Amino acid sequence: MITLALSKGRIFEETLPLLKAAGIEVLEDPETSRKLILSTNRPDVRVVLVRATDVPTYVQYGGADIGVAGRDVLIEHGGAGMYQPLDLNIARCRMSVATRDDFDYAAAVKQGSRIRVATKYTEIARQHFADKGVHVDLIKLYGSMELAPLTGLADAIVDLVSTGNTLKANRLVEVEHIMDISSRLVVNQAALKLKREPLRQMIDAFASAIPA
Ligand code: PRT
Ligand code: MG
């Protein structure tokens, strides 16, 4: 049995065509079913639904053999115990620094002032500002980062941006691009040895179906 960990929403939706290319069809719809373990047309393959940030944990400790997780999630979690054989080029977005439109970020950086930054992505933010030599106080949040600059909690946020509509709706502007983000395949190292053939086949089928 091969267990594949996916999160509901965009990762599930965008992984479906890759699964199809590997001859795997999920038999239940996660948006209507309450089940957390979904069967497929293949008796030896099942899908488990976990939170996006829990995918690396499941794969690292063998709760799943293989999974799909965003580069953001993988950097924050760390890559121990997992192979990352493929960038699937799905669930694409970017990690950016954003501020209120009336905050002069460039001037604050130039003056060397300490900048208060709210984010869920403290590891990515810490590395980014350390590389630039910018002094920041990081404030960890678990959601709705956009609210932080509007309430005075922080000067800036580090968050994912795709269309930019969320920032715009909250009168925030992107002031720095940190990195491009897409989702990757992660594989448990022990499983890759014990279930080498079926996992290899799945990885190869995914590789030939990656969107441009
Ligand atoms: O939502 P939930 O709390 O359950 O979990 P999650 O947010 O971790 O999961 P999910 O499914 O929302 O995101 C899973 C992965 O999709 C992330 O880890 C990213 O790698 C990737 N991804 C791609 C995104 C986006 N695009 C994205 N736009 N993840 C989140 N967003 C959010 C962003 O945080 C911001 O709030 O969408 C908003 C911005 O979108 P725009 O289009 O308004 O710019
Ligand atoms: Mg989300």
How far is C-alpha 131 from the geometric centre of its chain's CA atoms?
A: 22
* Distance from the alpha carbon of residue 53 to the mean position of ligand 2, in angstroms: 10
* Distance from the alpha carbon of residue 51 to the mean position of ligand 2, in angstroms: 10
Q: For the full predicted model, state whether its pTM sits above 0.95.
A: yes
Q: Given the CA of residue 166, which atom of ligand 1 is nearest to it?
A: 43
**Residue 8 Cα distances to 60, 121, 170, angstroms:** 20, 20, 26
Q: What is the largest CA-CA distance in the chain?
A: 62
Partner residues linked to 140 by β-bridges:
119
Q: Which of 100, 137, 141 is nearest to 115 (CA)?
A: 137
Q: Give residues with Cβ within 8 angstroms of 131, minimum separation 6.
A: none
Express each pLDDT in 137-177 by its tens digit: 999 999 999 999 999 999 999 999 999 999 999 999 999 99
**Residue 2 Cα distances to 85, 116, 136, 202, angstroms:** 17, 44, 44, 10
Q: Given the CA of residue 159, which atom of ligand 1 is nearest to it?
A: 34
Residue nearest to atom 4 of ligand 1 (CA): 51
Q: How many CB atoms lie within 10 A of CB 47?
A: 25
Express each pLDDT in 29-88 by its tens digit: 999 999 999 999 999 999 999 999 999 999 999 999 999 999 999 999 999 989 999 999
* Distance from the alpha carbon of residue 116 to the mean position of ligand 1, in angstroms: 23
Express each pLDDT in 78-136 by its tens digit: 999 899 999 999 999 999 999 999 999 999 999 999 999 999 999 999 999 999 999 99
Interface predicted TM-score (ipTM): 0.96
Residue 75 Cβ < 6 Å to ligand 1: no
| pLDDT given for residue 150 in this prediction | 98
> Measured between alpha carbons, how far is 181 from 167 in angstroms, rounded to an integer?
17
